[in-house]
Amino acid sequence: MKILVCIKQVPDSAQIRVHPVTNTIMRQGVPTIINPYDLFSLEEALRLRDKFGGEVTVLTMGPPMAADSLRKALAIGADRAVLLTDRFFAGSDTLATTYALAQAIRKIEETFGPQDIVFAGKQTIDGDTAQVGPGVAKRLGLLQLTYVSRIAECNPDKRELVVERRSEGGVQVLRTAMPCLVTMLEGANEVRRGAIEDSLRAARAEIVTWSAKDAGIEDLTKCGLKGSPTIVKKVFAPSPRSERAAFVEPAKTASDSAEALIEAIFSRQPSLEADMTKLASGF
């Protein structure tokens, strides 16, 4: 199997800064890590490779220093790393990012062969949009499975994949044909530490580095700030509430504590009890 994993180097959320003028994330001087959600996707890809054979390629778009995250992915066990880097990509929103990544994936398939599965994390900790994975799938015409909590079955011969997908109503069990794109949830697996051999290989591995031109991206107006219709009007920290949370003294039993809590809620919101009674009666 040939599996591609899209990862992103993100600033450590504990030390993130925002540019006061452009309202974009300032990455200079801020420690970076692999987006945590992407690690679960990488681990799932490595498990499928270990079981069925093949290779895992990791792809990221970012500045040259993003090569550090690719080497970490190689140290965990990935077979190949591709860095898409160019000044034209600076300031990309999700629309511009999916365009560049989709073009790079097409180039990867031309160079290294068709990919059976494309993995991505459900979202990134710096943007939290959860749009890039589905956006790439749309541009490539791939079937997409989002918020996947478990790969239940994979049959490379039948070109089928069965997954468990978390939804608001419970868990959906879905079957799809390959090729497809899968975004993984946090906690879907336990990410391996990587063997010493992989760490040594990662240290001397050659990172495949492509510019926009190398990746076959011809329309640069769809990249970077020029290709990003998203405008961040204002970035601010929410102001603290003036009203403090109420504390309900615990009772001797759980039942009494629950009754005390309900009574406190109804006393603070008098109309709530009537609304709930009306809803329960069906009127």
Note if the pTM is more than 0.85. no
Amino acid at 254: A
**pLDDT per residue rounded down to tens, the chain (283 residues):** 999 999 999 887 666 667 667 666 666 667 788 999 999 999 999 999 999 999 999 999 999 999 999 999 999 999 999 999 999 998 888 999 999 999 999 999 999 999 999 999 998 888 788 899 999 999 999 999 999 999 999 999 999 999 999 988 889 999 999 999 999 999 889 999 888 999 999 999 999 999 999 999 989 999 998 899 888 777 766 777 777 778 888 888 999 899 888 888 888 888 887 787 777 676 5
Q: What pLDDT sits at residue 69? A: 94
CA distance 190 to 205: 25
pLDDT of residue 29: 67
Pairing of strands 117-121, 2-6: parallel
pLDDT reported for residue 276: 79
Give the pLDDT of residue 265.
Answer: 86
3-state SS assignment for residue 80: strand
